[in-house]
Protein backbone atom coordinates (compact mmCIF):
# COMPACT_ATOMS: atom_id res chain seq x y z
CA UNK A 1 0.00 0.00 0.00
CA UNK A 2 1.27 3.43 -0.91
CA UNK A 3 1.86 6.13 1.70
CA UNK A 4 -0.83 8.43 0.25
CA UNK A 5 -4.16 7.43 -1.28
CA UNK A 6 -5.99 10.01 -3.36
CA UNK A 7 -9.65 9.58 -4.24
CA UNK A 8 -10.30 11.03 -7.67
CA UNK A 9 -11.02 10.48 -11.33
CA UNK A 10 -9.31 11.64 -14.49
CA UNK A 11 -12.01 14.13 -15.46
CA UNK A 12 -11.63 15.98 -12.13
CA UNK A 13 -9.33 18.97 -12.23
CA UNK A 14 -9.76 19.32 -8.48
CA UNK A 15 -8.35 15.84 -7.87
CA UNK A 16 -5.60 16.56 -10.42
CA UNK A 17 -4.45 19.56 -8.37
CA UNK A 18 -3.45 17.15 -5.59
CA UNK A 19 -2.33 14.33 -7.89
CA UNK A 20 0.06 16.58 -9.78
CA UNK A 21 1.68 17.78 -6.55
CA UNK A 22 2.04 14.20 -5.27
CA UNK A 23 3.68 13.22 -8.56
CA UNK A 24 6.01 16.20 -8.89
CA UNK A 25 7.06 15.99 -5.25
CA UNK A 26 8.01 12.36 -5.74
CA UNK A 27 5.56 11.03 -3.17
CA UNK A 28 4.66 7.36 -2.80
CA UNK A 29 0.99 7.61 -3.78
CA UNK A 30 -1.80 5.72 -5.42
CA UNK A 31 -5.13 6.79 -6.83
CA UNK A 32 -8.46 5.33 -5.80
CA UNK A 33 -10.87 5.78 -8.69
CA UNK A 34 -14.22 7.36 -7.80
CA UNK A 35 -17.16 6.57 -10.06
CA UNK A 36 -18.36 10.15 -10.24
CA UNK A 37 -20.40 9.75 -13.41
CA UNK A 38 -22.52 7.03 -11.82
CA UNK A 39 -23.09 9.17 -8.75
CA UNK A 40 -20.60 7.72 -6.26
CA UNK A 41 -19.61 11.07 -4.73
CA UNK A 42 -23.25 12.01 -4.23
CA UNK A 43 -24.27 8.64 -2.73
CA UNK A 44 -25.36 8.34 0.87
CA UNK A 45 -22.51 5.91 1.50
CA UNK A 46 -19.84 8.25 0.13
CA UNK A 47 -21.30 11.20 2.03
CA UNK A 48 -21.42 9.29 5.32
CA UNK A 49 -18.17 7.31 4.99
CA UNK A 50 -15.85 9.48 2.91
CA UNK A 51 -16.90 13.13 2.48
CA UNK A 52 -20.10 14.77 3.66
CA UNK A 53 -19.56 17.45 1.01
CA UNK A 54 -20.10 14.82 -1.68
CA UNK A 55 -16.91 15.73 -3.53
CA UNK A 56 -13.52 14.51 -4.65
CA UNK A 57 -10.61 14.77 -4.00
CA UNK A 58 -10.14 13.05 -0.66
CA UNK A 59 -6.64 12.32 0.61
CA UNK A 60 -5.87 9.48 3.00
CA UNK A 61 -2.57 9.66 4.88
CA UNK A 62 -2.31 7.24 7.78
CA UNK A 63 -5.23 7.98 10.07
CA UNK A 64 -5.87 11.35 8.46
CA UNK A 65 -8.61 11.93 5.92
CA UNK A 66 -8.56 15.34 4.25
CA UNK A 67 -11.00 16.93 1.83
CA UNK A 68 -11.02 20.15 -0.22
CA UNK A 69 -8.14 20.50 -2.65
CA UNK A 70 -6.87 23.66 -0.93
CA UNK A 71 -6.53 21.87 2.41
CA UNK A 72 -4.85 18.90 0.76
CA UNK A 73 -2.38 21.12 -1.12
CA UNK A 74 -1.44 22.99 2.04
CA UNK A 75 -0.99 19.74 3.96
CA UNK A 76 1.14 18.15 1.24
CA UNK A 77 3.34 21.25 1.02
CA UNK A 78 3.96 20.95 4.76
CA UNK A 79 4.59 17.19 4.59
CA UNK A 80 6.92 17.31 1.59
CA UNK A 81 8.61 20.64 2.31
CA UNK A 82 7.92 21.65 -1.28
CA UNK A 83 5.75 24.28 -2.99
CA UNK A 84 4.72 25.97 0.25
CA UNK A 85 5.26 29.50 1.56
CA UNK A 86 8.59 30.66 3.00
CA UNK A 87 6.98 33.20 5.35
CA UNK A 88 3.70 34.80 6.40
CA UNK A 89 3.58 37.17 3.44
CA UNK A 90 3.93 34.29 0.99
CA UNK A 91 1.40 32.24 2.96
CA UNK A 92 -1.22 34.95 2.59
CA UNK A 93 -0.47 35.52 -1.08
CA UNK A 94 -0.74 31.79 -1.81
CA UNK A 95 -3.97 31.45 0.16
CA UNK A 96 -5.41 34.50 -1.58
CA UNK A 97 -4.98 32.94 -4.99
CA UNK A 98 -6.24 29.53 -3.87
CA UNK A 99 -9.40 31.18 -2.53
CA UNK A 100 -9.79 33.21 -5.70
CA UNK A 101 -9.38 30.03 -7.72
CA UNK A 102 -12.09 28.28 -5.73
CA UNK A 103 -14.46 31.23 -5.89
CA UNK A 104 -13.87 32.73 -9.30
CA UNK A 105 -11.85 30.50 -11.62
CA UNK A 106 -12.36 26.80 -10.94
CA UNK A 107 -15.96 27.28 -9.79
CA UNK A 108 -17.05 28.67 -13.15
CA UNK A 109 -14.55 26.92 -15.43
CA UNK A 110 -15.19 23.45 -14.02
CA UNK A 111 -18.95 23.89 -14.02
CA UNK A 112 -19.00 25.32 -17.54
CA UNK A 113 -16.83 22.52 -18.87
CA UNK A 114 -18.85 19.86 -17.04
CA UNK A 115 -22.18 21.06 -18.40
CA UNK A 116 -20.80 21.68 -21.89
CA UNK A 117 -18.82 18.47 -22.22
CA UNK A 118 -20.64 15.88 -20.17
CA UNK A 119 -24.27 16.93 -19.78
CA UNK A 120 -26.86 17.12 -22.51
CA UNK A 121 -29.63 19.65 -22.60
CA UNK A 122 -28.21 22.47 -20.49
CA UNK A 123 -29.89 25.75 -21.36
CA UNK A 124 -27.68 27.90 -23.59
CA UNK A 125 -28.24 30.90 -21.32
CA UNK A 126 -26.64 28.99 -18.43
CA UNK A 127 -23.66 28.02 -20.59
CA UNK A 128 -23.27 31.62 -21.75
CA UNK A 129 -23.44 32.89 -18.18
CA UNK A 130 -20.77 30.47 -16.97
CA UNK A 131 -18.53 31.12 -19.97
CA UNK A 132 -18.73 34.86 -19.31
CA UNK A 133 -17.69 34.40 -15.70
CA UNK A 134 -14.85 32.09 -16.75
CA UNK A 135 -13.55 34.63 -19.27
CA UNK A 136 -13.64 37.40 -16.64
CA UNK A 137 -11.53 35.24 -14.32
CA UNK A 138 -9.08 34.30 -17.08
CA UNK A 139 -8.58 37.98 -17.84
CA UNK A 140 -7.69 38.69 -14.20
CA UNK A 141 -5.25 35.79 -14.22
CA UNK A 142 -3.66 36.74 -17.54
CA UNK A 143 -3.07 40.28 -16.39
CA UNK A 144 -1.66 39.06 -13.08
CA UNK A 145 0.74 36.61 -14.77
CA UNK A 146 2.06 39.21 -17.19
CA UNK A 147 5.69 39.72 -16.26
CA UNK A 148 5.84 36.94 -13.70
CA UNK A 149 6.69 33.26 -13.88
CA UNK A 150 4.43 31.90 -11.11
CA UNK A 151 1.15 32.93 -9.57
CA UNK A 152 1.90 33.76 -5.95
CA UNK A 153 5.62 33.77 -5.21
CA UNK A 154 8.92 33.70 -7.07
CA UNK A 155 8.67 29.93 -7.37
CA UNK A 156 6.18 27.24 -8.27
CA UNK A 157 3.74 27.02 -5.36
CA UNK A 158 0.50 25.30 -4.40
CA UNK A 159 -1.34 28.33 -5.82
CA UNK A 160 -0.12 27.29 -9.28
CA UNK A 161 -1.27 23.70 -8.69
CA UNK A 162 -4.69 24.95 -7.66
CA UNK A 163 -5.15 27.36 -10.53
CA UNK A 164 -3.89 25.04 -13.27
CA UNK A 165 -6.26 22.24 -12.25
CA UNK A 166 -8.78 22.70 -15.06
CA UNK A 167 -6.65 24.65 -17.52
CA UNK A 168 -5.34 21.59 -19.36
CA UNK A 169 -8.87 20.67 -20.46
CA UNK A 170 -9.05 23.66 -22.79
CA UNK A 171 -10.34 21.69 -25.77
CA UNK A 172 -13.41 20.88 -23.69
CA UNK A 173 -14.32 24.45 -22.82
CA UNK A 174 -13.11 26.13 -25.96
CA UNK A 175 -10.47 28.68 -24.94
CA UNK A 176 -7.81 29.84 -27.37
CA UNK A 177 -4.70 30.50 -25.31
CA UNK A 178 -3.55 33.06 -27.90
CA UNK A 179 -6.10 35.34 -26.22
CA UNK A 180 -4.28 34.89 -22.90
CA UNK A 181 -0.55 34.98 -23.70
CA UNK A 182 0.67 35.16 -20.09
CA UNK A 183 -1.46 32.16 -19.11
CA UNK A 184 -0.24 30.34 -22.21
CA UNK A 185 3.41 30.87 -21.25
CA UNK A 186 2.77 29.85 -17.63
CA UNK A 187 1.01 26.67 -18.78
CA UNK A 188 4.06 25.81 -20.86
CA UNK A 189 6.29 26.32 -17.82
CA UNK A 190 4.15 23.86 -15.89
CA UNK A 191 4.11 21.35 -18.76
CA UNK A 192 7.92 21.54 -18.89
CA UNK A 193 8.31 20.49 -15.23
CA UNK A 194 9.98 17.07 -14.91
CA UNK A 195 7.28 14.47 -14.40
CA UNK A 196 4.37 16.61 -15.62
CA UNK A 197 1.47 14.66 -17.07
CA UNK A 198 -1.91 15.66 -18.43
CA UNK A 199 -4.78 14.80 -16.06
CA UNK A 200 -6.06 12.19 -18.51
CA UNK A 201 -2.72 10.39 -18.20
CA UNK A 202 -1.96 10.97 -14.53
CA UNK A 203 -5.32 10.28 -12.94
CA UNK A 204 -7.37 7.09 -12.93
CA UNK A 205 -10.18 6.30 -15.33
CA UNK A 206 -12.79 3.64 -14.86
CA UNK A 207 -12.27 -0.12 -14.97
CA UNK B 1 -7.81 57.10 12.12
CA UNK B 2 -8.87 53.65 13.23
CA UNK B 3 -6.42 50.75 13.48
CA UNK B 4 -8.17 48.76 10.77
CA UNK B 5 -9.82 50.07 7.59
CA UNK B 6 -12.17 47.74 5.74
CA UNK B 7 -13.23 48.47 2.16
CA UNK B 8 -16.78 47.28 1.64
CA UNK B 9 -20.43 48.12 1.20
CA UNK B 10 -23.55 47.05 2.99
CA UNK B 11 -24.85 44.81 0.22
CA UNK B 12 -21.64 42.73 0.28
CA UNK B 13 -21.79 39.59 2.39
CA UNK B 14 -18.12 39.05 1.69
CA UNK B 15 -17.19 42.38 3.29
CA UNK B 16 -19.63 41.63 6.13
CA UNK B 17 -17.72 38.43 6.98
CA UNK B 18 -14.74 40.60 7.95
CA UNK B 19 -16.77 43.47 9.39
CA UNK B 20 -18.66 41.18 11.74
CA UNK B 21 -15.42 39.70 13.07
CA UNK B 22 -13.90 43.14 13.58
CA UNK B 23 -17.01 44.21 15.47
CA UNK B 24 -17.41 41.10 17.64
CA UNK B 25 -13.69 41.01 18.46
CA UNK B 26 -13.90 44.61 19.66
CA UNK B 27 -11.40 45.95 17.17
CA UNK B 28 -10.84 49.63 16.47
CA UNK B 29 -12.04 49.71 12.86
CA UNK B 30 -13.70 51.86 10.29
CA UNK B 31 -15.36 51.10 7.01
CA UNK B 32 -14.42 52.71 3.72
CA UNK B 33 -17.46 52.60 1.46
CA UNK B 34 -16.90 51.19 -2.02
CA UNK B 35 -19.26 52.32 -4.76
CA UNK B 36 -19.75 48.84 -6.18
CA UNK B 37 -22.99 49.58 -7.99
CA UNK B 38 -21.35 52.32 -10.03
CA UNK B 39 -18.48 50.04 -10.91
CA UNK B 40 -15.76 51.17 -8.50
CA UNK B 41 -14.40 47.66 -7.82
CA UNK B 42 -14.17 46.95 -11.54
CA UNK B 43 -12.52 50.27 -12.43
CA UNK B 44 -8.97 50.41 -13.71
CA UNK B 45 -8.01 52.61 -10.78
CA UNK B 46 -9.38 50.19 -8.18
CA UNK B 47 -7.76 47.22 -9.93
CA UNK B 48 -4.37 48.94 -10.12
CA UNK B 49 -4.38 50.72 -6.75
CA UNK B 50 -6.46 48.51 -4.44
CA UNK B 51 -7.19 45.00 -5.69
CA UNK B 52 -6.31 43.50 -9.06
CA UNK B 53 -9.10 40.96 -8.52
CA UNK B 54 -11.63 43.78 -8.73
CA UNK B 55 -13.35 42.77 -5.50
CA UNK B 56 -14.19 43.84 -1.96
CA UNK B 57 -13.39 43.35 0.87
CA UNK B 58 -9.93 44.80 1.24
CA UNK B 59 -8.40 45.24 4.70
CA UNK B 60 -5.78 47.87 5.48
CA UNK B 61 -3.75 47.35 8.66
CA UNK B 62 -0.69 49.55 8.90
CA UNK B 63 1.39 48.86 5.80
CA UNK B 64 -0.48 45.65 5.05
CA UNK B 65 -3.19 45.42 2.43
CA UNK B 66 -5.09 42.13 2.37
CA UNK B 67 -7.74 40.85 0.00
CA UNK B 68 -9.99 37.77 -0.10
CA UNK B 69 -12.27 37.39 2.88
CA UNK B 70 -10.71 34.05 3.86
CA UNK B 71 -7.24 35.61 4.10
CA UNK B 72 -8.60 38.56 6.06
CA UNK B 73 -10.47 36.30 8.49
CA UNK B 74 -7.39 34.17 9.13
CA UNK B 75 -5.24 37.26 9.65
CA UNK B 76 -7.72 38.87 12.04
CA UNK B 77 -8.01 35.65 14.04
CA UNK B 78 -4.25 35.68 14.45
CA UNK B 79 -4.14 39.38 15.34
CA UNK B 80 -6.99 39.29 17.84
CA UNK B 81 -6.39 35.81 19.26
CA UNK B 82 -10.10 35.09 18.72
CA UNK B 83 -12.08 32.73 16.51
CA UNK B 84 -9.03 30.90 15.17
CA UNK B 85 -7.93 27.27 15.40
CA UNK B 86 -6.39 25.80 18.55
CA UNK B 87 -4.31 23.24 16.65
CA UNK B 88 -3.56 21.80 13.21
CA UNK B 89 -6.67 19.64 13.13
CA UNK B 90 -8.90 22.64 13.82
CA UNK B 91 -6.94 24.72 11.30
CA UNK B 92 -7.64 22.22 8.54
CA UNK B 93 -11.29 21.84 9.48
CA UNK B 94 -11.78 25.61 9.50
CA UNK B 95 -9.99 26.04 6.17
CA UNK B 96 -12.01 23.20 4.66
CA UNK B 97 -15.28 24.96 5.40
CA UNK B 98 -14.00 28.37 4.29
CA UNK B 99 -12.95 26.85 0.96
CA UNK B 100 -16.28 25.05 0.63
CA UNK B 101 -18.06 28.31 1.38
CA UNK B 102 -16.10 30.12 -1.34
CA UNK B 103 -16.60 27.35 -3.88
CA UNK B 104 -20.06 26.05 -3.17
CA UNK B 105 -22.12 28.27 -0.88
CA UNK B 106 -21.22 31.95 -1.21
CA UNK B 107 -20.32 31.62 -4.89
CA UNK B 108 -23.82 30.53 -5.84
CA UNK B 109 -25.82 32.25 -3.11
CA UNK B 110 -24.22 35.66 -3.62
CA UNK B 111 -24.48 35.48 -7.38
CA UNK B 112 -28.08 34.27 -7.31
CA UNK B 113 -29.09 37.00 -4.88
CA UNK B 114 -27.22 39.68 -6.83
CA UNK B 115 -28.85 38.79 -10.16
CA UNK B 116 -32.28 38.29 -8.59
CA UNK B 117 -32.27 41.38 -6.39
CA UNK B 118 -30.17 43.95 -8.16
CA UNK B 119 -30.07 43.12 -11.88
CA UNK B 120 -32.96 43.26 -14.28
CA UNK B 121 -33.38 40.95 -17.20
CA UNK B 122 -31.37 37.91 -16.11
CA UNK B 123 -32.54 34.80 -17.95
CA UNK B 124 -34.77 32.65 -15.73
CA UNK B 125 -32.75 29.56 -16.63
CA UNK B 126 -29.66 31.18 -15.09
CA UNK B 127 -31.57 32.08 -11.92
CA UNK B 128 -32.94 28.54 -11.68
CA UNK B 129 -29.48 27.06 -12.16
CA UNK B 130 -27.95 29.22 -9.43
CA UNK B 131 -30.85 28.60 -7.06
CA UNK B 132 -30.46 24.85 -7.54
CA UNK B 133 -26.78 25.01 -6.69
CA UNK B 134 -27.51 27.19 -3.66
CA UNK B 135 -30.09 24.74 -2.38
CA UNK B 136 -27.68 21.82 -2.81
CA UNK B 137 -25.10 23.68 -0.71
CA UNK B 138 -27.64 24.64 1.96
CA UNK B 139 -28.62 20.97 2.27
CA UNK B 140 -24.99 19.98 2.90
CA UNK B 141 -24.68 22.72 5.52
CA UNK B 142 -27.95 21.86 7.24
CA UNK B 143 -27.01 18.21 7.54
CA UNK B 144 -23.55 19.14 8.82
CA UNK B 145 -24.91 21.52 11.47
CA UNK B 146 -27.44 19.01 12.74
CA UNK B 147 -26.34 18.18 16.28
CA UNK B 148 -23.60 20.77 16.44
CA UNK B 149 -23.48 24.40 17.53
CA UNK B 150 -20.76 25.73 15.21
CA UNK B 151 -19.49 24.83 11.78
CA UNK B 152 -15.89 23.73 12.24
CA UNK B 153 -14.95 23.42 15.92
CA UNK B 154 -16.60 23.39 19.31
CA UNK B 155 -16.65 27.18 19.33
CA UNK B 156 -17.53 30.09 17.06
CA UNK B 157 -14.75 30.29 14.47
CA UNK B 158 -13.86 32.15 11.31
CA UNK B 159 -15.58 29.35 9.37
CA UNK B 160 -18.89 30.54 10.87
CA UNK B 161 -18.12 34.14 9.90
CA UNK B 162 -17.38 33.06 6.34
CA UNK B 163 -20.43 30.87 5.92
CA UNK B 164 -22.94 33.26 7.50
CA UNK B 165 -21.88 36.14 5.24
CA UNK B 166 -24.85 36.03 2.88
CA UNK B 167 -27.30 34.11 5.02
CA UNK B 168 -28.85 37.19 6.64
CA UNK B 169 -30.08 38.41 3.23
CA UNK B 170 -32.62 35.59 3.02
CA UNK B 171 -35.54 37.81 2.06
CA UNK B 172 -33.59 38.70 -1.08
CA UNK B 173 -33.01 35.16 -2.28
CA UNK B 174 -36.17 33.59 -0.98
CA UNK B 175 -35.17 30.82 1.42
CA UNK B 176 -37.52 29.63 4.15
CA UNK B 177 -35.33 28.63 7.08
CA UNK B 178 -38.01 26.17 8.22
CA UNK B 179 -36.64 23.97 5.43
CA UNK B 180 -33.20 24.09 7.07
CA UNK B 181 -33.78 23.79 10.82
CA UNK B 182 -30.15 23.31 11.80
CA UNK B 183 -29.08 26.37 9.81
CA UNK B 184 -31.97 28.28 11.35
CA UNK B 185 -30.85 27.45 14.89
CA UNK B 186 -27.22 28.29 14.08
CA UNK B 187 -28.25 31.65 12.59
CA UNK B 188 -30.10 32.43 15.83
CA UNK B 189 -26.96 31.59 17.83
CA UNK B 190 -25.00 34.06 15.73
CA UNK B 191 -27.68 36.73 16.03
CA UNK B 192 -27.60 36.30 19.81
CA UNK B 193 -23.88 37.10 20.04
CA UNK B 194 -23.23 40.36 21.91
CA UNK B 195 -22.73 43.11 19.36
CA UNK B 196 -24.23 41.25 16.40
CA UNK B 197 -25.72 43.47 13.72
CA UNK B 198 -27.33 42.80 10.38
CA UNK B 199 -25.08 43.70 7.41
CA UNK B 200 -27.40 46.53 6.45
CA UNK B 201 -26.80 48.07 9.90
CA UNK B 202 -23.13 47.21 10.39
CA UNK B 203 -21.68 48.02 6.98
CA UNK B 204 -21.56 51.34 5.12
CA UNK B 205 -24.07 52.45 2.52
CA UNK B 206 -23.59 55.27 0.07
CA UNK B 207 -23.38 58.98 0.83
Q: Is B125 touching A (CB cutoff 8 A)?
A: yes
Indicate if the pLDDT at residue A52 is higher than 80.
Answer: yes
Mean pLDDT of chain A, nearest integer: 96
Indicate if the pLDDT at residue B206 is higher than 80.
Answer: no
Query: What confidence tens digit (pLDDT) does each residue in A22-43 have?
Result: 999 999 999 999 999 999 999 9
Question: What is the pLDDT at residue B16?
Answer: 98
Question: What is the pLDDT at residue A163?
Answer: 98
Indicate if the pLDDT at residue A120 is higher than 90.
Answer: no
Question: What is the pLDDT at residue A122?
Answer: 95
Mean pLDDT for the stretch of residues B48-62: 94
**ipTM, 2 dp:** 0.96
Question: What is the pLDDT at residue B84?
Answer: 98
d(CA B72, CA A49): 33
Distance in Å, alpha carbon of A103 to nearest chain B alpha carbon: 5
Question: What is the pLDDT at residue A149?
Answer: 98
Question: What is the pLDDT at residue B125?
Answer: 97
* Among the partner residues B66, B100, B126, nearest to A129 by beta-carbon distance: B126
Question: What is the pLDDT at residue A207?
Answer: 75
Query: What confidence tens digit (pLDDT) does each residue in A67-101 have?
Result: 999 999 999 999 999 999 999 999 999 999 999 99
Mean pLDDT for the stretch of residues B76-87: 98
Model confidence at B104, in pLDDT bands (50, 70, 90)? very high
Interface probe for A, chosen from B65, B67, B68 (most Cβ of A below 10 Å), is B68
pTM score, whole prediction: 0.97
Indicate if the pLDDT at residue B207 is higher than 90.
Answer: no
Indicate if the pLDDT at residue A62 is higher than 90.
Answer: yes
Question: What is the pLDDT at residue A206?
Answer: 77
Across the interface, whether the CB atoms of A75 and B52 are under 8 A apart is answered no
Indicate if the pLDDT at residue A12 is higher than 90.
Answer: yes
Model confidence at B168, in pLDDT bands (50, 70, 90)? very high
Question: What is the pLDDT at residue B187?
Answer: 98
- Surface of B (21-60) touching A: CB under 8 A: 52-54
Question: What is the pLDDT at residue B57?
Answer: 97
Query: What confidence tens digit (pLDDT) does each residue in A144-182 have?
Result: 999 999 999 999 999 999 999 999 999 999 999 999 999
Contacts of A14 by beta carbon, 8 Å cutoff, 6+ apart = A8, A55, A56, A57, A69, A106, A110, A165
Mean pLDDT for the stretch of residues B170-196: 97
- Surface of A (140-199) touching B: CB under 8 A: 140, 143-144
Model confidence at A132, in pLDDT bands (50, 70, 90)? very high
Across the interface, whether the CB atoms of B102 and A102 are under 8 A apart is answered yes
Q: DSSP for chain B?
A: --SEEEEE-TT-HHHHHHHHHHHHTT--EEEEE--GGGTGGGSHHHHHHT-TT--S-EEEETTEEEESHHHHHHHHHHHHT-SS-SSHHHHHHHHHHHHHIIIIIHHHHHHHHHHHHH-S---HHHHHHHHHHHHHHHHHHHHHHTT-SSSSSSS--HHHHHHHTTTT-HHHHT--GGG-HHHHHHHHHHHTSTT---HHHHS----
Amino acid sequence: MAEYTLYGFKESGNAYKAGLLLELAGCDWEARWVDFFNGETRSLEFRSEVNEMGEAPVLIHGDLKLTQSGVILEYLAQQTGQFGPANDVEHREILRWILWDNHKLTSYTATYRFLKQFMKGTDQAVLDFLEGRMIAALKVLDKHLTGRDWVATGALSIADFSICGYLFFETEFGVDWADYPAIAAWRERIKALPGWQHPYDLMPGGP
